[in-house]
Structure 1
Amino acid sequence: MKKNHKTPTDAGLRRRAEKIIAETVAGGPDSPGISPEESASLIHELRVHQIELKMQNEELRRIQEELEKSRNRYSHLFDFSPFGYFNVDEKGIIEQVNLTAADMVGIARGSLIGKAFTRIIFRDDQDIYYRNRRALLESETPTSFELRLLKSGGAEFYARLECLVITDSETGFRQMRIAVSDITERKHQEETIRKTTRLSQERAQEITALLKSAKIVLSTSSFTKASRKIFDICRTLTGAAAGYLELFSDGGEDHKIVFFEAGDISCSIDTVLLMPIRALREKAYRFGKVVYDNNIFSGPWMEYLPAGHVRLESILLAPVMIHKQPVGILGFINKAGGFTKNDIHLITAFTQLAAVSLRNDRMLDALKQNENQLQKAYNEMEKQVQERTRDLTRSNQQLVMEIEERQEAEKLLLESRSMLQKVFDGIAEPLVLLDRDMRIRVMNNSAVAYFGVTDSRKVVGEICYNAFKGKTDFCEGCRIPLMLSKSGNVEFERKGFKNPHRYERVFLYIVKDRQGATENIIYRISDITERKLLDKQIIQNEKMAALGVMVSSIAHEINNPNAFIAFNLPILREYIEQLIGMIDHDRGNTPAFELCNMPYPEFRKDVFRLIGNLEHGSERINMFVSNLQEFSWTKYKGKETWVDLKALSKKAFDICRSKLKRTVQFYIDDIPETFPQIHTEPNALEHILINLLMNAAQASDKADSLIKLSAMTGETWLDHTIIEVTDNGCGIDAENIAHIFDPFFSTKAPNDGTGLGLYVCHDLVTGLGGRIEVETEVGKYSTFRVILPDMERRSENRVEEKI
């Protein structure tokens, strides 16, 4: 609901208007008055004017209300603005402040008004405020600046002040309006950025210094010069006042001062004098780590320093390590503020560069020691290098010359390594070079193929038993660890490392360094399977030769008497039959007639029984002699020709068919029709198959008995043709398997065999240059495996190798 507000001005205007109307209607002394028509017109105009005034009055009231609303909105925006606002007079007294500013400083608004603005400014920053306030009041140009304000508890925060001058147009009174924003977070970020930038710059300086030192190592062959340059760079970077570099002997008993930099510090100690390794130096030497002490002057180490030594405030000692052994110490002395952990990392990096320089220097010394041995071979090349070096010295100074010498040395090292690899690869037998930790350094192509390594580069540096067997400990029976403690070479025989069916001879050669210590081991493997087989064959042949002579003698000595007996027995039988006929005619009907204390009928039967026994004995002797002759026949070797193994297997089966049908339920001939022909003696191979099939038939003891004949081609010329005869019979126990190829050995009944079948097989296979193997399990199966070589291919390969 609207309210009618009448101001004093409105009432005065009304009275003046009424007075004018009254004078106009009544007329003055000189006025002739108005007519009724004029009076009615005037009243009408007044009424219209009255209505207009009312409308204007209503509009003014509406505008006033809008202004009040705007003022309220402005007040709300002012109080809750994200910026703090202060109105400060020319004397610096706070006249007005919004809620945001009061909240910023943590002081109630009422407590701020009437107080000096400097009360909430950090004391050290008040000059900033006074200086900018004076400039603002003089120029009345808006300005901004940053300083620290205080909160109610005394805590400070960074603020940005945006200031301008407000002047009252009526009174001319001036105020400063200050907009405050909290920039503490931004300041912290800027501080973080500054610190990060500073650290980045420091890291950049360190990296630049390390790169510069690395270039020095590459370009300077002299360790003394390179180490001194590295030391100077590191000393400048860390801020150390002094320092030194010393090198140790192999045992650490002696040391040599390479250089000593005292800086501005006086030192009367002769650096040539030897000092024992103790105190902090002993700690750095023993543990191989950087050590430092920033309070060494009051520490326990001072008692070890001789009189006249540099006064020590702080010290850092970094061991120079080569192959994990300390060979020297790089020391830094008296850094202002003391050494830090960052100094440890930094100096460690510089020390490593010094170690690289020392190692390079020693390598170059070693190369120079070998120059006399290479002088004759490279005399002309050395002359050209020297001439070229002099040219480069004049044009490119000492740096280029040293780089060229280093590159040449590296080239020779690479060529030497390449030549060593070529020599290794030229050896047909597997050859491996191991270091004293049994890590692989070099392998030839034969070793790569032997151990089945796909990429020789991946196994270099690996321990041999891990690379070749995937183990974490020594292989069983390995002799390399044992020989490391001996001084001589070792050779021994063993079963194949990869193939236990083969035989190898292993040679271990020790390679010593200049001090006589074992440095490397050459590991050579020689396949002696063929030689072993030949040795066994020679021994077997010698046995057979002796046995053949004996068999021939026995057969001769037995055949002659037995032939006499066999020849005379029919005659004797004929004589006896005639005598018996005569006795039958004379006394055959006499019951009491006796001969040799026996009734005649019984005597008659006994005589013919004795003659039959003599005939049977003669036959047995003849059969034994025949077996011995068959035994001697195994030494016969007929003409070799190309043989169709499938056709030969069918022929052997036909011979054994009746025996197999009686004892075997299933027979499988698994030899392919397309199996390649083999070059061998067909009669011997047929005899081998017959004996193996008969032996398998005799071992069959199950209702579902089975014999399987199969053949395959091996991977090498020694294993070219592999023939297997497998049965599911009784198997062979461990006690008998060692004797199954001995002559006359049999586990069958006395009338079931002579014990020569497997012996004959073994001798025939050996005569063909092959071997026979057995795989069995008692009660389950037996497999006899005949392995024949490809003699033709072997001879061709040997001809190629000679060429």
Structure 2
Amino acid sequence: MSSADEHNLRAKAEAKIRARSHAIQNLTLEESKSLLHELEVHQVELEMQNEELREAQHRLEEVRDQYTDLFDFAPIGYLVLTEKVIIRNINLTACALLGIERSFIIGKPFSAYISNGESRTLFLNLRKAFKTGVLPSFEIEMKHKSKGNFTALLQGIITIDQKTNNTVCRVSLIDITELKKAEILQLQHKSLQKEKQKIQEYLNLAPVVFLLIDTDYKVQMINKKGCDLLRYENPEILGKHWFDHFISFTDINGTTVTQQHIKNEKGLLNPCFESLLKCRNNEMRLMSWTNVTLLDDNNKPIGTLIAGEDITERKKLESRQQKYTEELEDIVAERTEELKEALQQEKIISEMKSAFVSMASHEFRTPLTSILSSTILIEKYNDLKENTKVGKHVERIKSSVNQLTNILEDFLSMEKLERGIVTTSKETFDLKAFIFDTIEECNWMLKETQNINYIQKSPIEVFMDKKILRNVLLNLISNATKYSQTDVEIRASLNKDILNIDIEDKGIGIPENEHKHLFTKFFRAKNVTNIQGTGLGLSIVKHYVDLLEGTIAFSSKLGEGSTFKLMLPLHT
């Protein structure tokens, strides 16, 4: 209680005493003593009440201070807005979000701290809130004095200000910029995971083991063939040290070998080596490995792509053949020649398998390196907040996946043809419309200077397997566009019941001494080694033409181009 209040209270008390002075004068001594005692008791009661009031006031001041601390140092920004969107009060957290001291903010319009174009959103939401009593949560772009814009989440309620008795809006303010960025990164991560899943699906179709290890030799990806051979589930393999868990440094004869057997002086894996693979239940398989080191833009290793072939049975066979050869040294010359021929055939098979592994490793390396490097760059761009550069690398990943798909389709087509499980299903169709549809499918292959011209003088209706003919034409047109810079010409004519189709290009041509090998599996002419391809296309074409009971021929001059001629019977 203040001194002025105490003075007024005393003056009132003295006035009452003067009014009662007449009655007091007639009191007896005993009555005066009793009255004095009552006054003393009343005085003590008043003093006790005053003490209680002081304690209550002290507690109220403590609660007020605690409320002020909670308001100012809360992890969320708080502010009080009038109906005219003037800042009535604001806590320190909100001041920090805006980068301005409280004394410069109170009394200012809230719109001064909002990005251009966002004021209408704020006013509409506040107008509705003052009618409904609640400000639903909404996002808005705000300005920090020195750090630029940030995304804020606002929500609040409408209350009565006890001091002014006016309605105000009590608003919470949360910076959700990092949360929004995290949501974007999560979406990008999901997209990359889908692309990775697609790659995994394609690799699962490969007939050899494929795996990707990082620079710490931990497994980052492995295909189904690898899981089946190891007899482990995919999650049991991923993240494990490849050499510690799955490779034995004991050779097939039980001799221990050092890691120098598999690494060069730079610490990188040797391009090729053999080792024992440790499978579930202590089973060992002898493997032949082909390794490709993946490099970043600075030629620093970022991982290794490994292709592995199980050669256990082949080694056993080779061992038996060697022993058999030693035991038959005195066999007659005819038997010796037969044995030499058999060994030569085995050598050819071995060379073809080695060529396949080498080719597959080479053809898979380029798109997988592109995928891996693009993935790493996307992660870096995300860390650097350079999201505009991500799209180009996502497109590179998609292009590489399509490239892998085409390679695997060649492998699967050759396997089906060699196993004899491809059958024909004939139907009648118009040749011209069919070829135009096929040409349209090839438009994505064309270079800027290329066109595909089709010549057919009269209508032709054919009766044959439409799908097989399409595969033949797609392969031949693809080769013509790939090895040429100019237009490709397709001509079709009918001679009795024989359909003739010629595909001509003005490209690099085929060396004459290599003509005889052209339809051999995995063969590629020496002048196309720098142009991507599997060496399976023309071999597949030859198999398909045989299924159609037709023939294929070609003429070619080095540096002038090539013409492939199809002669297909039209059996009705």
Verify same fold: TM over 0.5.
Answer: no
TM-score, scaled relative to structure 1: 0.30
TM-score, scaled relative to structure 2: 0.41
Higher RCO structure, 1 or 2 (CA under 8 Å, sep 6+): 2
